[in-house]
Structure 1
Amino acid sequence: MQALLHAIATMELPTDARRIFHGRGGLYPGCEHWALDAYAPVLLLTSFKPVADEELATIGAALQARWQQIGAGAPLSWVFQCRHEGRSETRLMAGSVPEPHVVSENGTRYRVHVLKGQNHGLFLDMAEGRRWVREHVAAHPELERPGLKVLNLFAYTCAFSVVARQAGARQVLNLDMSQGALAIGQQNHQLNEISDGASFLAHDIFKTWGKITRGGPYHLVVVDPPSFQKGSFVATKDYAKLMRRLPDLLRPGGHALLCLNAPELGQDFLQGQMQEFAPELAFVARVANPAVFADVSPERSLKVLVYRAPD
């Protein structure tokens, strides 16, 4: 636990949403089950196995001591979540959580919810993926002409859509099976004063290809599915179905951003599948994860790959 305590003792006052300590990367022996995130003004401590109350008390004391140094007189608010055997228990340990709870990342605002569920509205490890989308759209030569289109598959709360619209994309089509997630996505657009240019479809992607195809072709397609969600998506059998569609969905010279957060599947899984099912698309680069998410094995961590359609 010493590595986690050291991270707490040296952390700066968080302003943006970000990870502070990433034990899951395996770089800190004995701390593999710990993660500490900032959803300012709230800290979220997560353990991926049961822990003793004495450990929590030690961590809480460390958080309180550091907050007295950096918190500028504001009270400490922190939440603890234990995830074990597919279940989670969440407790407010000190302070309070704003309602609505709005955080920022690189100047963009998002609704989050740290007291319920295991997905809190914004995946912090995808920060560089969002940065890539923003910079890619902003630099696109077709921005000088109307019509840049983005397709955001498995949109969740539509963070990719928000940054794409902020960067100048004219249209973004967001698809996700969860109406609740898309409702938060609509709120995220409103938070950032984006009143038009984004559409939201709560559909099963695999049953909606007609609507998806009619909305294209697209300059950018973002594919960020769950790695395993029974009844929705299983990467090992379903990713290929998406890859087969990409050549027809993309404009000449268009790009696809393929994401996969499955520790058991490495980069070679995505690249091998793309070579088999969409060989005409060329691999461009892998987007680096935020430095704090460093892993003893990069193949276990989040994979974000960029592909390009031929001109």
Structure 2
Amino acid sequence: MQALLDTIAILPRPSEAGRLFHGRGGLHPGCEQWTLDAYPPVWLLTSFAPATDGQLQAVGDALAARWQQVAPGEPLNWVFQQRDETCASNRLMAGSVPDEHVVQEDGARFLVHLLRGQNHGLFLDMAEGRRWVRRWAAGRPGGRVLNLFAYTCAFSVAALQAGAGSVSNIDMAGGALAIGQRNHRLNGLDSGAGFLPHDVFASWGRLRRGGPYDLIVADPPSHQKGSFMAPKDYPRLVRRLPELLAPGGLALLCLNTPKLGSQFLHEVVQAEAPELRFVERVAHPAAFGDMSAERALKVMAWQAA
């Protein structure tokens, strides 16, 4: 785990949420199990394999030493998450976590929760996707957006801040949408957003009535029983896009699994909505560097005629 310790030794004091070490990308041999994220004022260390007490002690010592250099006299706060494919456990290792933990990204504020659940309220690897949406919204003031599998609605916040006219957020997890509503209030966005706690696949009629949309964002889970299984459900989703998109509208499709590459999305769109034209693949954040672009997050845009 030397590469992780070397990274900690030169860490800056973070002001925004972001990843600082990404062993999962395979670019640091021997560190594939580790990631380190900043959710100021808290560090989050995640291990995707069993971690020993000695390893955690080494990381804690390294963080303490570096924190004393960049923030002398301030308490070190860090959380450890042990994670596997089915569950995650979270443990406070030092300091504390704010009762209402708010982090920033590109001028936006988001609630996060590091001590419960597998996910934390803001997917850091989607930062460039949110920037893409900001650029789109700035160039299309008043545009109408449909945000599918909205989770805590970070895409919606980005779109509305940049000039979108309205965003319809849909997710079957009502608790996540409630956090999304709070995220909008945190950013002074008191209008323009709707929140629908529904199953996407049972709501096509409602969604059609709310359209057509100038942008559809779809960031589904890749493998979540009872919600979305990419090989089976992405075709069902994509075939509905043409009837929901306005002429010239864009669909931003996201796929986050190393088991399926970008060709999967190309083939699904060609089979189910061949009238859509491929536009571009959005670069993923440099901090999430991967030895294979096809293993990494895929964020890709198609346009209606």
TM-score normalised by length of structure 1: 0.97
* Partner residue in 2 for 1:242: 237
1:73-112 to structure 2, matched below 5 A, reads 73-84=73-84, 86-112=86-112
Q: Which runs of 4+ in 1 moved over 6 A?
A: none
Letter in 2 for 1:249: L
Cα distance in 2 between the residues matched to 1:241 and 1:298: 25
Match of 2:59 in 1: 59
Q: Work out whether 1:296 is the aligned partner of 2:291.
A: yes
| Corresponding residue to 2:157 among 140, 162, 175 | 162
How far residue 170 of structure 1 moved from its aligned partner, in angstroms, is 1.1
Match of 2:275 among 263, 280, 284: 280
Q: CA deviation at 1:136?
A: 0.7
Give the match's secondary structure for 1:3.
helix
Secondary structure at the counterpart of residue 5 of structure 1:
helix
Pairing of 1:34-49 with structure 2 (within 5 A): 34-49=34-49
User: Residue 19 of structure 2 contacts residue 37 of structure 2 at CA under 8 Å; is this kept in 1?
Assistant: yes
- Tell me whether 1:206 sits opposite 2:201 in the alignment: yes
Quote the offset at 1:74 in angstroms.
1.7
The whole-number CA distance in structure 2 between the counterparts of 1:158 and 1:269 is 26
Amino acid at match of 1:128: E
- Cα offset, 1:72, TM superposition: 4.4
Contact 2:89 2:118 (8 Å CA) reproduced: no
Instruction: Please list, as runs of the form range in 1=range in 2, the aligned pairs for 1:83-232 lying within 5 A after superposition.
Output: 83-84=83-84, 86-140=86-140, 143=141, 147-232=142-227
2:18 aligned partner? 18
Q: Which residue of 2 aligns with 1:3?
A: 3
2:257 paired with 1:262: yes
Q: Tell me if 1:251 matches 2:249.
A: no
Q: Equivalents in 2 of 1:85, 1:124: separation in Å?
A: 19
In structure 2, the residue matched to 1:33 is 33
Partners of 2:35 and 2:47 within 8 A in 1: yes
Distance 1:148 1:84 in 2: 40
One-letter identity of the residue aligned with 2:122: L
SS of the residue aligned with 1:231?
A: coil
- AA partner of residue 292 (structure 1): A
Partners of 1:168 and 1:75 lie apart in 2 by 39
CA distance in 1, matches of 2:10, 2:243: 50
- State the distance in 2 between where 1:31 and 1:200 align: 40
Structure 1 residue 64, shift from structure 2 partner: 0.2
2:240 is paired with a residue whose SS is: helix
- Aligned mates of 1:51, 1:153 — CA distance in 2: 36
Gaps of 5+ in 1: none
Alignment match of 2:300 (pick from 289, 294, 305): 305
What are the Cα deviations for residues 206-234 of structure 1, in whole angstroms up to 9, with x where unaligned? 00011100000000000000001001100
1:148 positional shift: 1.9
Shift of 1:84: 2.9
Quote the Cα distance in structure 1 between the aligned partners of 2:119 and 2:33. Answer: 17
Deviation at 1:299, TM superposition (A): 0.4
How far apart in 1 are the matches of 2:126 and 2:85? 25
Residue 268 of structure 1 and its aligned partner are, at CA, apart by 0.2
What's the secondary structure of 1:10's corresponding residue?
Answer: coil
In structure 2, the gaps of 5 or more residues are none
Give 2:171's aligned amino acid. D
Normalising by structure 2, we get a TM-score of 0.99
Residues 1:72 and 1:170: Cα distance change in structure 2 (over 3 Å) = farther
Number of residues of Structure 1 aligned to a counterpart in Structure 2: 305
1:16 Cα deviation from its structure 2 partner: 0.4
State the Cα deviation string for residues 48-72 of structure 1 (Å, max 9, x = none): 1111101110110000000001124
CA distance in 2, matches of 1:120, 1:111: 9
Q: How far has the Cα of 1:87 moved from its partner?
A: 2.3
